[in-house]
Amino acid sequence: MRTAIFAHRGSKANRPENTLAAFEEAARVQSDGIELDVHLTKDQEVVVMHDEKVNRTTNGTGQIKQFTLRDLQELDAGSWFSGNYRKEKVPTLKEVLELLSDYSGVINIELKTDRNVYPGIEERVVRIVDAYRANLPVVYSSFNHESLIRLKKTDASAEVALLLWERLAEPWRYTQQVGATAQHLWEPSAFSDTAKQLHQHNIKVRAWTVNKPKHMQLAFQMGLDALITDYPEVALDLRKSYETAGKKLH
Mean pLDDT of the 197-221 span: 98
pLDDT score for 213: 98
93 pLDDT more than 60: yes
Domain region containing 227: 4-249
Give me the pLDDT at residue 248, please. Answer: 67
The pLDDT tens digits of the residues spanning 97-123 come to 999 999 999 999 999 999 999 999 999
Quick: pLDDT tens for 56-87: 999 999 999 999 999 999 999 999 999 999 99
CB 40, CB 118: distance < 8 Å: yes
**For residue 83, what pLDDT is reported?**
97
Average pLDDT of the chain, as a whole number: 97
Write down the catalytic residue from 8, 39, 184, 215.
8
User: Are the CB atoms for 179 and 160 separated by under 8 Å?
Assistant: yes
Among this protein's residues, is 201 annotated catalytic?
A: no
Q: Residue 237 is part of a domain; what is its CATH number? A: 3.20.20.190
* Number of domains into which the chain is organized: 1
Question: Annotated catalytic residue: which of 39, 50, 199, 215?
Answer: 50
In angstroms, the CA 237 to CA 94 distance is 31
Q: What does the DSSP 8-state code read for residue 92? A: B
- Helix, coil or strand: residue 149: helix
Q: What would the mean pLDDT of 164-184 be, rounded to a whole number?
A: 98
8 a catalytic residue: yes
Instruction: Please state the pTM of the whole predicted model.
Output: 0.97
Residues 6+ apart with CB under 8 A from 121: 38, 39, 40, 46, 111, 113, 147
